[in-house]
Chains A and B, each alone.
Chain A
Amino acid sequence: MSFSLLNINYQNNNKNILNDISIDFTEKSIGVLGHNGSGKTTLMKILSGITKPTSGKVEFDKKNLKHISDLDRAKNIGYVQQDREYVIGFTLYEYVELGTFPNKNILDFKKNLDSKVIDKALDIVGLLNRKDELVDNLSGGEMQILRIARVLAQNTRVILFDEPTSNLDLKNAHKVSSLIKKLNSHGIQTIVTSHDFRILKDISDFLCLLKNGVILDFGKTKDVLTHENIINAFELLPEHYSKIDSNEFKDL
């Protein structure tokens, strides 16, 4: 599984969001770090195929993503994002079942063909024992973990995570990041965005540094996470970075 981006541009309301991005994502565990508005979410949407770039070409497994059908794309690429959903009254099980959509045939009347897949997804995230509860009662952090289960039920080889830990407390953020690492060990490629290098330093082996729609650096996380890179990418002033403990970079 590999992504290959060639001269990707994206404009919205005459504003350049992504500027001539060319990069190959072949590694198993990749992070995308950038400030708010750097174009992380747009990049993820383009990788997931739900947004078409203004110009340029995305290849997935050496095939032009444009020419892969919606359903085939959904069988290969999963996408976890935080968004408003209208799922009041769903049980956890029923919610995760939505993830089986690309692999489901409506004429399939066999008794709960997907139940094993759904149970397994709930089990991986540790919510199997609560599968008959209603999602209405979940906290924001638990809902985010359930979203991951939904995408797991989609059974894809690649999962994109857009800001998976923002809005989460420390405990749930830790749960999510160890979950992502677990997926890597199961052979799933993960691409994770964040504006917080502390999180990506734990999750991702490789790091892509994004600033104003341009890639500043890409490589092994410890090589990319340098003092200079961070200051440059986030346009930090001396009074900001004096507060960052420089030890955080040493132990990488």
Chain B
Amino acid sequence: MLSISRRNRNKLRNLSYFDKLLLLSILCLSFTLLLVILSVRSGPVSINFAEILNILINILNSSESTIDMNSQIILNIRLPRIILAVLVGISLSVSGAIMQGLFRNPMADPSIIGVSSGAAVGAVSSIALGIYSLSLIVLPLMAFLGGIIAAFTVYFISFVSGRNSLVSLILGGLAISLFANSVISMIILASSEYGEMSSILFWLAGGLESTRWDHVFLLFPIVLINLPILIFYSNKLNVLALSDDSAKSLGLNVSKTRLILLLSTTALTSMAVAVSGIIAFVGIIIPHIVRLITGPDNRVVIPISALLGSLFLVFTDYLARTIFSPTEIRLGIITSLVGAPFFIYLLIRQRTTEVAQ
């Protein structure tokens, strides 16, 4: 059984870079499209396809008569939510794939190394301080600030202070996450209003249930800028798998590349956290599945992770809305329930290969 799957995998791996990209993109995109259609349809209020089409045609004709309830549900609740799921999926899985290469560590992921928690602290502080109402971008900016502090701290732990090992990165990330979570708990305990408290709790296990178009408009430009940058850098990320000296001897400016990748992924992660809270483990599950299929070439892994990541989040969000409908499960809870066992499995496998070497 194992040998058969290995042979099949090799067949796909031997395809040229472009063929792999084309084949897998088409596959992911068609499944995503199917799921999007399914997601728009389903929910506490079921709306049939003819009506959905009708509503969409109405917007295209820009008629003003789209104020009935069903079109409100589609246009202002479901559509932004699905689009945000796509964007968050892209942000988290691409960030994970990049961080694994950047830290030369298969267990790196925005939530595990503490960047997500850092961003959450930033977002929560802006609420606690009451400055988030000044402008729509205050909260995301604070999230980015928190994310950057966490990212550079873990970077320092992992590279500057001694050898970059699997354990020091994970322990460093754990320390940052614990610290961030206790700051959040402190803020929750200090807050007197119930409303403020529950809106802060939102960041600990993220979800998409309160999505508005504003959220989409915040994350969209960040993805639009950073995704092309990261795809362009995927070739350089490949070379970072070698030692720093070898990468330099291949003509790569190692510290500049690392800095750009770290800033870019932190921006993506922080903004995703700002709009959806912490949705853990996506950045570790998706790139690992992609690498299993395509091999380690980041020129394929990065774009396909983006596509599979959005597919995955649209799917899990669909589950979150429908399993116990009309009650919702938090999306972040589902990804953690799936992700934590996967993470443990990877950790065990990783330890055995390390021992074997």
Contacts and interface: CB of A to CB of B under 8 A. Distances in A.
Interface of A: 45, 48-50, 69-75, 77-79, 81, 83-91, 94, 97-99, 101-102, 104, 106, 109-112, 132, 136, 154
A85 B295 contact: no
B18 interface: yes
B296 A81 contact: no
A73 B10 CA distance: 35
Contacts of A72: 251
A90 B251 contact: no
Nearest to A50: B248
Contacts, number: 88
B242 A132 contact: no
A97 B236 CA distance: 12
A75 B251 CA distance: 8
A152 to B, nearest CB: 13
Given A83-B245, A94-B296, A101-B250, A89 B291 contact: yes
A71 B251 contact: yes
B252 interface: yes
B241 A87 contact: yes
Interface of B: 10, 13-14, 16-19, 104-106, 232, 234-236, 238-239, 241-243, 245-246, 248-253, 291, 295-297, 299, 353
Contacts of A79: 245-246, 249
Contact of B249 (A69, A74, A104, A106): A74
A69 to B, nearest CB: 8
A45 B245 CA distance: 8
A66 to B, nearest CB: 14
Given A74-B250, A102-B251, A106-B232, A86 B353 contact: no
The 5 closest A-B pairs by CB, nearest first: A74-B251, A83-B243, A86-B104, A79-B249, A50-B248
A88 B249 contact: no
Contacts of A49: 249
A75 to B, nearest CB: 7
B21 to A, nearest CB: 9
Nearest to A69: B251
Give the residue among B16, B251, B252, B253 with the most A Cβ atoms within 10 A: B251
A106 B299 contact: yes
Given A79-B245, A79-B246, A94 B235 contact: no
A101 B252 contact: yes
Nearest to B21: A109
B16 A101 contact: no
13 contacts: A50-B249, A70-B251, A70-B252, A72-B251, A78-B249, A79-B249, A81-B243, A81-B246, A87-B296, A101-B252, A111-B16, A132-B13, A136-B353
B122 to A, nearest CB: 30
B246 A85 contact: yes
A101 B10 contact: no
A98 B296 CA distance: 11
Contact of B239 (A83, A101, A111): A101
A98 B17 CA distance: 14
A132 B10 contact: yes
Contact of A73 (B14, B19, B243, B251): B251
A192 to B, nearest CB: 16
A150 B237 CA distance: 17
A81 to B, nearest CB: 6
Given A94-B297, A98-B238, 8 more contacts: A79-B246, A85-B241, A86-B105, A91-B13, A94-B296, A98-B250, A106-B299, A111-B18
